Structure 1
């Protein structure tokens, strides 16, 4: 569940531009984050309305959105210059899946959305006030932690294909809730790295298309954070 879009090497192999009108900046990157969020919310709303009319379409919307979004991630990791086209496509596809998933959880989905916004704002404040900084040690430790979570989820998925359920971590017991709290914390801390890399890209005068790529990378983390908060609230609701 780590963010595959962002790493310390994201901007190291780019052709740095000297054209003032063609460089990445923080304000315009944040504008693009807003555009992607709008697309995500609009797509989610369409998916939610569709679920209200016909529940069975969840079986198509969720896998189509998640698989399509994952394919966009894979392509963009290797073809960053395609970000102006694929980043909005990613937001659109993920919105279809998230709208359907949110409809299934219904009431707690709105709470999860509100908490996600709150966490993003808190992380931005902690980053801008330098309470939390993306030092080399911070990045290394958090990358290792997110990689470990990814391996756990992959193991759960593979074992599930053989009818074997991973005990405890997906249950509503104390271990399951504790695991979700840890994952939510790690997802939230990943935002610090995302903010750092956006500023790093602007400082390095990355090409203009990297604004879309950076916005896409931040979206990946925000979506992950929302889904993990939703999962945590669902566990709490079952107790």
Structure 2
């Protein structure tokens, strides 16, 4: 996240500066990035569907879910430091992360099927709605990715990331942070803030993708940026799902 250029650790201006040291006959384009994002998204949906089907069949996927969560995290770290490998590792990330997302979604669907039977459909619809809305806000300069804006989003995102890592560690120690999952007023406010933060990261991601294309970044950066955008959208979906579950728990 150097130089405070993107809230997504996979996308920042230093990324593109570093990438210019590679020789590539072709340059990155916005269209190429979106095409590759489409491929990664379909792969994510495929393994998410597999996990969902396994849960529906009565298979306990808890262990597989945690393995896929940590595997995705590990692959993501490798991609960040080895951008030129993104064409090979981004699909791996999409597959393992998709399984985790599918398992988590199935869990929420089962847990809230009585009070909120459409919670997954609502989360998906809201996620796409937010992505589209943020794109138009960015495209028409309603929200601009200014240096100050970027610094604020970066700082907040780092704080949330550290907090979540701590909460995962506490979870395995048998300690839960109540407002992360419970539908208290504070818990709902916390989730609203995090959803807004994830949405703001989309502005920075769109900005960096366009900047990378305009600066002639190497072709492999299309895979890298597609991976970064997928990271943000998956995060946004999971936070919206968590928020909806908190509202549902109050019924």
TM, length-normalised to structure 2: 0.89
1:197 aligns with 2:208: yes
Q: Is the 8 A contact 2:51 2:99 kept in 1?
A: yes
Which residue of 5, 10, 19 maps to 1:5?
10
Taking the TM superposition and a 5 Å limit, the aligned residue runs for 1:6-45 are: 6-15=11-20, 22-45=26-49
Shift of 1:139: 0.6
Q: Is the 8 A contact 2:40 2:226 kept in 1?
A: yes
Distance in 1, Cα, partners of 2:86 & 2:23: 20
SS, match of residue 9 in structure 1: helix
Summarize deviations over 1:108-156 as a string: whole Å, max 9, x none.
1121111101100000010101111111111100001111112222332
1:99 aligns with 2:116: no
Structure 1 residues without counterparts, runs of 5 or longer: none
> Partner residue of 1:146?
157
Structure 2 residues without counterparts, runs of 5 or longer: 1-6, 110-117
TM, length-normalised to structure 1: 0.93
Give the aligned length.
Answer: 236
Summarize deviations over 1:180-216 as a string: whole Å, max 9, x none.
0000000010000000110111111111000000000
Cα root mean square deviation, aligned: 1.7
Shift of 1:226: 0.5
Which residue of 65, 74, 77 maps to 1:74?
77
Mean CA deviation greater in 43-52 or 31-40: 43-52
> Partner residue of 2:221?
210
Distance in 1, Cα, partners of 2:52 & 2:172: 29
> Partner residue of 2:115?
none
> Partner residue of 2:239?
228
Q: Is the 8 A contact 2:8 2:205 kept in 1?
A: no
1:173 aligns with 2:184: yes
Moved beyond 3 Å, runs of 4+: 16-19, 158-165, 167-170
